[in-house]
Structure 1
Amino acid sequence: MNSLRVKIFVGVIAILALMAGGIMAYSLRAVRTAMVEAEQRSVENVLQMAELAIRSQYHQLLSGKVGAIQGRKEAFRQFGQTVRSTLDTLATQARSVGTSDEAARANALDWLGALSPVSGEYIFVFDREGRALVYPDRDMVGQDLSGFRDIRGRGVTQTAWSDSELYGSSFLTYSWRSLKGPTTEQKYGLFVPFPRWGWMIGIVGDVADLQRETDVQRAELVDRLRSSLGVLKLAGHGFVFVFDESGQSVVAPQSRDGDWLTPSVLTDLKGMASVGDEPSRLAPLAAAGPDRKVEAQVFRLKALGWYVAAVVSSAALAKPAQDLIVNQGLVFAGGIVLAAILAWFLAQKVSRPLVALTHRARALSETDFTRRSQFVSPDRPATSRDEVGRLAAAFSFMEDSLYRNVQTVMQVTQERERIEGELNIARDIQLGLLPKIFPAFPHRSEIDIHAALVSAKEVGGDLYDFYFIDERHLCFTIGDVAGKGVPAALFMAITKTLIKSAADRFSDPWQMMTVVNEALSSDNPNSIFVTSLIGVLDCVTGEIRYANGGHNPPLIIREGGRVECLRSISGPALGVVEGVDYEPLVMRLAPGETLVLYTDGVTEAMNGRNELYEDERLVQLLELQDPFVPAQMLVERIMVDVQAHAGDTAQSDDITLVALRFHQQPKRSS
């Protein structure tokens, strides 16, 4: 087998044999495919009819459910408007006849306690502190209801008030204590505020009532399918049936043809179903056993968790194809014998000139392609017109191409090393613009501040800064430039410089932000923008005047470990539009409380399952911290938790954190 002529001979015979085998296999497949396609079309038609029937009835089921929910929401909304109108009337009448406000409220609560909602179960009333004023279970009156949570984990009473301030009312689904015992039940309710007396009126319905209606309609759907699909028959004792994820039959075959449908067979059928709602192709069903050769086609209805399967016999499909293969085999055997004789003489002719090129190919392994070299064929001129001559020319071209490619790679490598070196220098310069020595103000015991910045690339677009603008006031800022890399880093440096310059001229953060926005948006051809928060801390009183230009809401760790999220904003991000006047915002830190600032690289850190870190996890982490933890330790713990969430996933955005803890000191002169 080391001889080239033997290899050519064996190769030609192998090619012919493979060709013959391929033609025979193709013929077998073509005949089988023709027969299967006819049956496939029949099965597909039946399954499409079944799919249309199921989808049509399922859409009717969904429409009925949605209509019922919308109808109850509308009934609740109209009932809530009537209740509010009545309460306004009672309050007005009480004032006109001189009745005290307390008496008017008591009369209104008695009226509400006896009221039953339209299309609902009951109503209850609570105040802004979540304390029950009216409740069907009188033992609950006066109790704190803020412990109940909706399906998203939010406090029901708090969410009802916050949503109502934004939208006028709130519709929530939640778990609530049952009137029949200590267990909880799924409820839905419309919460309508009555601001005049600080009341929130909840109109409650039972989710189980809606589910029971849906279950009845689903049972009717199954009955209709059993009457329509169960009687369908396919060729070759084929049949159609429906089963669910657990292997339970929804629509069973109407005859004994399906007695062999064991759990293992159903499991195999589920594996045959294609991803999505499209049907699979007709395919052999191996789990049916060696004695039962059948083929099946399955499609899955994800919305219902059902599998619709059609099963047909495959025994009649194989016989015509097998007869064709026998006849073709005899013809190809004679052809291969004749081809073998011709292949031997061809191998002899081709192998001789190729030996000369062997020496040339071996010489290439010893060539130093970092230097220019000339290669001349000693045995075969490159001007020959046959394939061997073109092969010799190809060797010469390959050598020259290898030399050029090696030179190009060397140049590219040098250029890449130069660029990486410049980026590392740019990173050092960028980090040098930010405060990085901690503790930052060791002589100022009234504050404890720490910060951290991790870029997603060599350079990034996040920024932070803090400095005293006078003996009493500390100015701090955090920002996030849209984008990453060198453009964002340059824009970050410009923004930081503009903020520092504005702080030298103005004492109010909103004035600083207005001036910086004008400077950035007036000459911004690439439409780059930066979200930013600028604040000024009074180190005596703990008051913070700040402006938020579209940045993530700051968090405050209050006394006792409670975390407060400040969602108010002063205006849009900097650099978006000119002529914006940013609204002033004010907050206050009590002694021992900590302000946490961050960019969206923290809350949008993603793990391998494409799950975000999110604001809720950050808040939960801060709530678990010791309220007296130093700022540096707090920042380090957040960074560790973000890294634990991301795991080995590459960082997708710059991450920046600033923690500012306030310690009250004796008042200094301003």
Structure 2
Amino acid sequence: MLKGLFSLPTARLSRRIVFWVFVSVVVIEAIILIPSYNRREQELLSQLREVSSAKISVIMQMTGAEASALELLDQMRQLKLDPIILGGALHHSDGKKVGMFGEQPELSFSEGNSGSAIYLQSQNSFRYDAAWSAAELQRDYTLILRHDGSPVMLELHAFVLRIAGLVLIISLFVTAGAWIALRPIVVAPIIRLRNDLTSAGEAISKDRETPEFSSASIQRQDELGEVIAAFNHMYQQISDAIGERKKAEEALQTSLSQVKSYSQALKDELEKGREMQTNFLPGQLLHKPGWEIVAYFKPAHQVAGDFYDVFELPGGYVGLVIADVCDKGVGAALFMALFRSLIRIFSGQTSSDGLVCSYSQASANALSLASDGQVAESSHLDALKAVGLTNNYIAQNHGELAMFATLFFGVLDPSTGLLSYISGGHEPLLIVDSSGGVRERLNPTGPAVGITPDTEFKIEQTRLEPGDILLGYTDGVLEALAAGGEFFTRKRLLSMLEQSTSSATLLLDQIVASVLSHIGEADQHDDITLLAVRRDPKTDGGTKRVKTQA
């Protein structure tokens, strides 16, 4: 008890409450003191007037009714023998002054005649003027006396001191009682609640078990009890929420681990797919004396829908393929492998599993004669039928998937430079003259491959002269996006072909460098594939190269 009492002064809340209790008691007593002071003052002044009235009554009895005004004034001068009475003035009932003695009163006849009295206070003196009317004197006169008010003031001071002492004692007792009562009622529960709040914060921040709260044992039916109950309820809600969060985090971590495992497995599978797709492309391009064949391939993702192919056909002819399967990702990559395999298989045969490819007689007749009157080999026509067979196979067996490809398939006679081709909706291949500039564009001869069965593909024919370069590309070149959103464009590609070049390798390197420089730090949005075939002006040899960038 004593320990708690001595600890009270250190409690800031206690000091504030006790201070305001003390101030409140003092203010209340002061409010009560003011009317008490006024009543006491009136009581003392009334007593002073009663004493003077008694003395006046004696003088009036001693003076006969037939006495003159001056005789009455002389009798009244005897009142000055009393040290309390300092002077006075006698007036006729009509207001005419008879005379005065001692200090002159400041109370006028009119004021006195109305029963008024005044109490005057200066720096060093206290005066009280009172009047007695003709009715009180039972004579036709009015008497005004001046009294010394010092005894009244001294008594008032003593009264104030007594009241102030009493107020101080009452305030101290009330304050001390409030101070003592604050410890068990307010301060101790608040301190215990504060300690519990600190413990709760540490338990939450450091993820500890719920501590034992000392305030939980406090049972109160007041606002402080409601605060303590609200704190315990709040902490329980926070603990429950943290528990649910932990469960959610554990479930999330489990899901994240599963996703990571699945993602890694998918990544591994895509990497295998990329390796397999890369293996589908020619690792070493076909070498024919007097010809330079180069290629470039850079997928936008791990697997791609673009592909190129160079392979030898019966009779020493060379098959040239560049294609772009619609869409991107795994689906496009699978169909890329399917298109490539079908072109290779069907280019050496004219039917498979009942699939028959028919061409218009006009196309066959057009192929039978070259532009210089030379008769074309029928094997050109046989090989190019692979496009129709591939189209029918994809459309009939996988039409519901709506997968197709833009595809160029050409059959090259290395000995003459004769090129028979079908372009199924592909970007026009370009024949670049040895002196620079595009000599011929090989525009599409039919729609994309794989859309509808029994589509007619027209066969066209051209010739690569010594020094000419056949350049094939996919739309990933023209639509390469820079960081600002600008396309590489066909115009920029054509401008690079205006300069003469003596090497397909050099031309391809220049185009690739320009495209990659245009993309810069931006993401590559589409696969980039190029194929270049150059006929050497000399016929004593050729070169071969393939470049694949994964």
The interval holding the TM-score normalised by the smaller chain is: 0.5 to 0.7
> SS state of the match for residue 297, structure 2?
strand
For residue 632 of structure 1, what is the aligned residue in structure 2? 505
d(CA) in 1 for partners of 2:189, 2:530: 76
Q: Does 1:658 align with 2:531?
A: yes
1:175-214 correspondence runs (5 A)? none
- Counterpart of 2:417 in structure 1 is 542
Question: In the TM superposition, what is the alpha-carbon distance from 1:351 to its structure 2 partner?
Answer: 4.5
Check conservation: 2:290, 2:540, Cα contact below 8 A: no
Checking the alignment, whether the CA contact within 8 Å between 1:511 and 1:582 is kept in structure 2 is no
Using the alignment, how far apart are the partners of 1:645 and 1:399 within structure 2?
A: 49
Partner residue of 2:291 out of 447, 450, 460:
447
Q: What displacement does 1:559 show?
A: 2.6
| Paired amino acid for 1:656 | T
2:519 partner amino acid = A
Structure 1 match to 2:455: 580
User: AA paired with 2:400?
Assistant: P
Residue 387 of structure 2 aligns to a residue whose secondary structure is helix
* 2:281 aligned residue: 434
**Cα distance in structure 2, aligned partners of 1:564 and 1:383:** 89
- In structure 2, how many angstroms separate the alpha carbons of the residues matched to 1:588 and 1:350? 97
Partner of 1:90: none
Task: Quote the offset at 1:384 in angstroms.
Answer: 8.7
| Aligned equivalent of 2:197 | 354
1:182-226 alpha-carbon deviations (Å, 9 max, x no partner): xxxxxxxxxxxxxxxxxxxxxxxxxxxxxxxxxxxxxxxxxxxxx
1:203-602 matched pairs, under 5 angstroms: 351-364=194-207, 376-379=209-212, 386-437=233-284, 440-442=285-287, 444-506=288-350, 507=379, 508=381, 510-523=384-397, 524-602=399-477
Q: CA RMSD in A?
A: 2.9
Q: CA deviation at 1:386?
A: 2.1
For 2:535, give the aligned amino acid: F
Equivalent pair of 1:383/1:389 in contact (CA under 8 Å): no
Q: Match for residue 514 of structure 2?
A: 641
CA distance in 1 between counterparts of 2:307 and 2:240 reads: 60
Give the Cα separation in 2 of the matches to 1:500 and 1:432. 15
Over 3 Å counting, the alpha-carbon distance change for 1:345 and 1:434 in structure 2 is farther
Deviation sequence 1:219-261 (CA, Å, 0-9, x none):
xxxxxxxxxxxxxxxxxxxxxxxxxxxxxxxxxxxxxxxxxxx
Change (3 A) 1:604 1:383: same
Partner Cα distance (2:249, 2:405) in 1:
48
CA–CA distance in structure 1, aligned partners of residues 391 and 286 of structure 2: 29
TM-score by length of 1: 0.44
Query: What residue ranges of structure 1 are gaps of 5+ in the alignment?
Result: 1-5, 7-343, 365-374
1:111 corresponds in structure 2 to none
TM-score (norm 2): 0.53
2:347, 2:385 within 8 Å by CA — same for their partners in 1?
no
Q: Distance in 1 between matches of 2:513 and 2:190?
A: 69
Inter-partner Cα distance in structure 2 for 1:526 and 1:383:
63
Query: 1:607 pairs with 464, 468, 482, which one?
Result: 482
CA displacement 1:553-575 (0-9 Å, x = unmatched):
00111131121351532111011
Which structure has the larger Rg? 2
Q: Distance in 2 between matches of 1:385 and 1:561?
A: 88
Q: Output aligned runs, 1:33-72, within 5 Å.
A: none
Contact 1:448–1:661 (CA under 8 A) maintained in structure 2? yes
Shift of 1:362: 3.8
In the TM superposition, residue 529 of structure 1 has moved relative to its aligned partner by 0.9
Give the Cα–Cα distance (whole angstroms) in 2 for the partners of residues 550 and 452 of structure 1: 21
Give distance in 1, aligned partners of 2:469 and 2:318.
15
Match of 1:89 in 2: none
Give the superposition deviation at 1:377.
Answer: 2.2
Q: How does 1:168-179 map to 2 (within 5 A)?
A: none
Matches of 2:437 and 2:333 in 1, distance apart? Answer: 36
Contact 2:430 2:442 in 1 (8 A): no
Q: CA deviation at 1:645?
A: 1.0
> Distance between the aligned counterparts of 1:405 and 1:356, measured in 2?
29
Q: How many corresponding residue pairs?
A: 310
Deviations 1:397-428 (A, max 9, x none): 22222222223222222221121111111100
CA contact (8 A) 2:431 2:439 kept: yes
Secondary structure in structure 2 of the residue aligned to 1:403 = helix
Q: CA deviation at 1:510?
A: 4.1
Identify if the C-alpha distance between structure 1 residues 627 and 352 changes in structure 2 by more than 3 Å, giving closer, same or farther. same
| 2-structure distance, mates of 1:460, 1:390 | 54
1:463 Cα deviation from its structure 2 partner: 1.0
Q: Does 1:619 find its partner at 2:521?
A: no
The amino acid across from 1:400 in the alignment is K
Note closer, same or farther for the CA distance 1:538–1:356 as it changes in structure 2 (3 Å cut). same
Q: CA deviation at 1:515?
A: 1.1
User: 1-side partners of 2:210 and 2:403: how far apart?
Assistant: 61
Select the structure with the greater relative contact order (CA < 8 A; seq sep ≥ 6).
Answer: 2
**Aligned counterparts, 1:43-192, within 5 A:** none
Asked if the contact 2:388/2:456 (under 8 Å) is kept, the reply is yes
Amino acid at match of 2:278: L
Q: CA deviation at 1:433?
A: 0.5
From the superposition, tell whether residues 476 and 394 of structure 1 become closer, same or farther in structure 2 (CA, over 3 Å).
same
SS at structure 1 position matched to 2:461: strand
CA contact (8 A) 1:353 1:388 kept: no
Describe the shift of the 1:452–1:436 C-alpha distance in structure 2 as closer, same or farther (beyond 3 A): farther
Secondary structure at the residue paired with 1:505?
coil
How far apart, in 1, do the equivalents of 2:211 and 2:454 lie?
A: 80
Q: Name the aligned partner's letter for residue 657 of structure 1.
A: L
1:601, distance to aligned residue in structure 2 (A): 0.2
Letter in 1 for 2:307: L
Aligned CA distance change for structure 1 residues 528 and 383 (closer, same or farther; 3 Å): farther
Shift of 1:592: 1.4
Verify the 8 A CA contact 1:607 1:645 in the aligned structure 2: yes
Give 3-state SS (helix, strand or coil) of 1:596's partner: strand
Q: CA deviation at 1:499?
A: 0.3
> Residue type of the partner of 1:466?
V
Q: Which amino acid aligns with 2:309?
A: D
Partner Cα separation in structure 2 for residue 566 and residue 491 of structure 1: 27
Q: Match for residue 108 of structure 1?
A: none
Q: Which amino acid aligns with 1:474?
A: V
Cα distance change on mapping 1:351 and 1:495 into 2, 3 Å: farther
Looking at structure 2, the residues matched to 499 and 453 of structure 1 have their Cα atoms a distance apart, in angstroms, of 19
Quote the Cα distance in structure 1 between the aligned partners of 2:417 and 2:192: 97
Q: What letter matches 2:526 in structure 1? A: D
Does the aligned pair in 1 maintain the 2:480–2:487 contact within 8 Å?
A: yes
User: How much has 1:652 moved relative to structure 2?
Assistant: 0.6
Offset at 1:511?
1.8
Distance 1:347 1:413, change over 3 A: farther
For 1:54, the equivalent position in structure 2 comes to: none
Supply the distance in 1 between the matched residues of 2:252 and 2:348 (Cα, whole angstroms).
57
**Structure 2 counterpart of 1:571, one-letter code:** G
Q: How far apart in 1 are the matches of 2:230 and 2:506?
A: 77
Deviation at 1:349, TM superposition (A): 9.1
Question: Is the contact between residue 412 and residue 419 of structure 2 (CA under 8 Å) also seen in structure 1?
Answer: yes
The structure-2 alpha-carbon separation of the partners of 1:564 and 1:612, relative to structure 1 and needing over 3 Å to count, comes to: farther
